[in-house]
A and B are shown apart, each in its own frame.
Chain A
Amino acid sequence: MTVDVENLARRFGGTAALDGVSLALEPGEFVALLGPSGSGKTTLLRVLAGLDFPDEGRVRIAGRDMAGVPARERGVGVVFQNYALFRHMSVAENVAFGLRVRPRNRRPPEAEIQRRVRELLELVQIPELAARYPDQVSGGQRQRVALARALAIEPQLLLLDEPFGALDALVRKEVRRWVRGLHDRLGLTSILVTHDQEEAMEMADRVAVMEAGRIVQLDTPDALLQTPATAFVAGFMGEATRLPLCIRGRVARLSEFGLDDVELDLPDGEAVLFLRPHEVRIEPSAAGRALVRSVRPEGTGGTRILADVDGHRIEGICAVALARGDACRIRAVSGTFFHGDGTSRRWSAGPGAPAPLDSSRTPSASPAG
C-alpha cells in the first residue's frame, strides 16, 4: 500500500508541530520517523491514522485522498505508545473488537471471529492469555495484544508509535526483530515512530530524521551514517564526537583538539567536525597531549577509548591496550565537516593514512544486533 504525504502543516496554537512535511512510502516498506520529542513525529503518525487533521497539505493512502476520511474508515492499524488496551475487556475481546464493531453486513459470524482471534493470538505467540485482562499480563505481552488487535482489521498500513518504549532493554531487542519479521511475513507497509536511533537503524528500510516539524533527511540507515545532510542528523545518528572549529584560508584549525589541521575547500567561517569513533585512531605516545579517560573493550581486538585533550573529549579506537590515565596521541582518519553556511564536506586523510576500521555501524549495538 502506498502512502503519499505532501506538504503537511499542523499548528497547535502558535507552534508548528508539522511544517511542510512530505513523505512517500512504497508498498512493503518499513520507514522509521526518528527525532527528539517535539519534532512532530507523533503528530505525523496521528494525521496518518486520522486522529488529527492537518491545517495544510494532503495525505493519500493507496492513492486515495484522506481529507475528511475519519479514522474508523481508514483501515489503518495503530499500535499506541501505551497500548491503549480496553481495560474492561479480556485479551480475546480486545483482539475481537475490530471485527465485532463492523457493520452487520461485513461482520463475520461469531464462530469465525473466535477462530480469527485464536489465529491472531497464536501469531503473536500468546494464545494462553486469551481470557486474561490487560492488567493481568506483562508489558511485553500487552504489546503483543495491542499488535494482534491492530492486525485483526487486516490493515495494509501499520503505524507504530514508540511501541517498545515500555519494555525493558532485553525484551525490546527481541521484540524489535520479531515485529520486523512479522512485517515482512505479512507484507505490511509500516511506519515506526521512535526517538531511539538504534531502533530505527535496526528495523527500518529507510529512516526519516525529523527536527522541529520537518523531515531533514530521509534515507537508508547506511546513507544517513555515511552522508548525513546536516549537523543535526550527524549528531542524532550513532555516536560521534562533535568539534566546533574555525576555517581560515581553506584550513580547518584542529590543533586545539590535538589533531592535525585539515585542508579543504570550504569558505572561511565557523564549522563543526563530526568524528565517528571508528574514524579516530588513538595511539600510545609518551609525548601525547591527550590522556585516556575511559577504556571499553570492543570484543573485536581493539578497545574503545575516550580521550581528553585540554578538556575536549574525543572518542576513538585503539589497537593496543591502554589504561586510564595513560598519555596518548589522537589522529583522525576521516570525518564530516558541516559549515555554518549549510554546506558539508566529507573528508578523509590521504593515502598512507590508516584505513578507517569498519566497526559496527551503530557502535552501541551488540555485535549480534
Chain B
Amino acid sequence: MSAAGPAAADPAWLRWTAVTLALLLAVVIFLLPLAAVFTEALRRGWEPALAAIQEEDARAAVRLTLLVAAISVPVNAMGGVAAAWAVTKFDFPGRRLLITLIELPFSVSPVISGLVYVLLFGAQGYLGPWLQEHDIEIIFAVPGLVLATVFVTFPFVARTLIPLMQEQGRDEEEAAATLGAGGWDIFRRVTLPNVKWALLSGVLLCNARAMGEFGAVSVVSGHIRGQTNTMPLHVEILYNEYMFVGAFAVASLLALLGLLTLLAKALLEILAGRRMGDAA
C-alpha cells in the first residue's frame, strides 16, 4: 500500500475498517455456513457420514450429477465459444439482441426456466403427446435435467469470453486471413489460443454451477430416487426426512466438488498470470 500514490492514500482507520468489514462478511457469509455443513455431517463421527454417502441412492445421485455436468459443460463450452465468437468477430443484424439473450438465464429465475421445459415437453405440454407417442422421455428423465442445466449455466463461458474477445478486436484474425488462413485455421490458431485461459476459467465456473444447480433441475426432475435425483435434490430429500447426518454428508461432498473446482480455477489463474509475466 505504501507504493500507492497520494490520491490512493486513504486514512489508515478507513483502510482497516474496510478490510475488517470485508473479512468479517466473508467469514460470516461464506466460511461459517461451509464450516457448519462439515460440522453437522461429522456430528456423529466419520462412520455415519461415510455410510450416508455410500448408500445406494446417494451414489446414484453422485453419478447422475457427474453425468449431467459431463454433458452440459462441454455443450456450454462449445456453445459459449461459438456465441462469443459470433458476437465479437462478426457484424450481423440482431447481434445486440443475441448479446442480451446470452444473459437471459442469469436474469430469469431458474425455477421459471425449469417450468418452461415442463410446459414444452411435459405430459400436458405442447410437445408432450408427440413425445409420448414416440416413446421419448425428457421431463422426469436425464434429458430434461441436462436441458435445464444447460440453460441455467449457458452464460458462464460466453460471459467470460465476450469482454476479452471484444478487447482483443479483430485485427489478428484479419491479419491471419491476409496470410491465407481459412476460417477454421483462424479460429484454431489465432482466436482460441488468445482466449484459452479465460475459456478454462469459464468452463470451471460453469461446471461448479452445473453440479450445484437446484431450482431448474428440481422442477424437471420429478424426484425419483436413484433415477432422477441429483446431489442437491438428494440433499433436500434427506433433509426433509430429518436425516440430517446424511443430508449434510452429501452436502459436504457437493461442497467439496465445488471447492475443488474453485481451487483448479485459482491454480489456472496463477499459471496464466505467470505465463503473462514471462512474456512481459
Contact = CB atoms under 8 A, between A and B. Distances in A.
A87 to B, nearest CB: 7
Nearest to B195: A88
B180 interface: yes
Contacts of A61: none
Interface residues of B, number: 18
Interface string A66-88: 00001111111110101011111
B96 to A, nearest CB: 16
A71 B171 CA distance: 13
A86 B172 contact: yes
B111 interface: no
Interface stretch (A95-103, A120-128, A193-201, A343-351): A95-103
A18 B175 CA distance: 22
Given A84-B171, A133-B279, A135-B280, A153 B193 contact: no
Contacts of A98: 179-180
B264 to A, nearest CB: 22
Interface stretch (B137-145, B182-190, B246-254): B182-190
Given A133-B279, A135-B279, A86 B175 contact: yes
A136 B280 CA distance: 6
Interface string B148-189: 000000000000000000000001101111111110010001
Contacts, number: 70
A51 B179 contact: no
B227 interface: no
A80 B171 contact: yes
B179 A149 contact: yes
B176 A87 contact: no
Given A82-B171, A84-B172, A86-B190, A71 B280 contact: no
Nearest to B171: A84
A91 interface: no
Most buried by A among B175, B178, B185, B280: B178
A71 B175 CA distance: 9
Given A71-B178, A76-B178, A87 B171 contact: no
A133 B182 CA distance: 24
A82 B185 CA distance: 22
Contacts of B190: 86
A89 B194 CA distance: 10
A72 B177 contact: yes
Interface string B241-280: 0000000000000000000000000000000000000011
Contacts of A152: 179
Interface in B179-231: 179-182, 185, 189-190, 193-194
A49 interface: yes
Contact of B180 (A72, A80, A82, A84): A72
A246 to B, nearest CB: 50
A101 B174 contact: no
Contacts of B280: 135-136
Given A133-B279, A135-B279, A78 B178 contact: yes
Given A87-B194, A101-B185, A75 B180 contact: yes
A86 B178 contact: no
Contact of A88 (B171, B174, B181, B194): B194
A97 B182 CA distance: 12
A225 B280 CA distance: 46
Interface string B71-115: 000000000000000000000000000000000000000000000
A283 B129 CA distance: 102
Contacts of B178: 49-51, 71-72, 74, 76-78, 150
A101 B171 contact: no
A88 B178 CA distance: 18
Contacts of A88: 193-194
B193 A70 contact: no
A75 B178 CA distance: 7
Contact of A101 (B172, B182, B193, B194): B182
A80 B189 contact: no
Contacts of B171: 80, 82, 84
26 contacts: A50-B177, A50-B178, A51-B177, A71-B178, A72-B179, A74-B178, A76-B178, A80-B171, A80-B174, A80-B175, A82-B171, A84-B171, A84-B172, A86-B175, A86-B176, A86-B189, A97-B176, A97-B179, A97-B189, A98-B180, A101-B180, A101-B182, A101-B185, A102-B180, A136-B279, A149-B179
Given A98-B179, A149-B179, A150-B179, 7 more contacts: A70-B177, A71-B174, A72-B182, A87-B172, A98-B180, A136-B279, A149-B175
Closest 3 CB pairs of A and B: A84-B171, A98-B179, A84-B175
